Amino acid sequence: MNFSKDDLQKEVKYKTSRSGGAGGQHVNKVSSKVELLFLVSTSALFNDDEKELLSKKLANRLNKDGYVQVICDEERSQYLNKAKALDRLLNLLTRSLQVQKPRTATKPGKAAKARRLDEKKQQSARKEGRKRNFDY
């Protein structure tokens, strides 16, 4: 990760609006809900490969204009909501940039095979014990 919160802060747009929820009458006159918008394609923080990876991994998070959208209205303060939204975006971007190593297929070992067969024998014996023996 070669970017910080401050770098991200420079490339982010905020939209604010009135938020529902707790706050009583105060909520009706203060715009505390924050909608954070970040455009991956024009960002100077990432190279072309990273932009492509982010666009692919965040495809379901992009709006029609291509912005990554993060909404936060949990707090009663606009400042705290902005901070939380920025944290969420930072977390989202760092998780999206991590490349998982491919899983290498392995076969079960001798001990695992023996354990499985042993468990099958025990289960079979258990079920055999449940049967009623009828002598005709």
Q: Return the higher-pLDDT residue of 4 and 135.
A: 4
CATH, residue 28? 3.30.160.20
| Residue 1: per-residue pLDDT | 57
Residue 63 domain flag: yes
Tokens of 83: 């901070």
Q: Which residues of 8-38 are buried (b: 16+ CB within 10 A; e: fewer)?
A: beeebeeeeeebeeeeeeebeeeebbbbbbb
Q: What is the spatial distance between Cα 83 and Cα 86, in angstroms, rounded to a whole number?
A: 5
Q: How many domains does the chain have?
A: 1
Residue 43 domain flag: yes
Residue 113 domain flag: no
Residue 20 domain flag: yes
* CA 122 to chain centroid: 42
Q: How does the average pLDDT of the chain come out, rounded?
A: 86
Q: Which residue, 78, 81, 89, 91, is CA-closest to 37?
A: 89
Question: pLDDT of 34-82, one tens digit each?
Answer: 999 998 888 888 888 888 888 888 888 888 888 889 999 888 888 999 9
User: Which pTM value belongs to this model?
Assistant: 0.68
Q: Which residue, 82, 78, 41, 36, is CA-closest to 59?
A: 41
Residue 76 domain flag: yes
Residue 115 domain flag: no
Q: Phi then psi for 135, rounded to 5 degrees?
A: -105, 110
* Residue ranges making up the domain that contains 88: 5-97
Residue 122 domain flag: no
For residue 14, give the 3-state DSSP assignment: strand
Residue 9 domain flag: yes
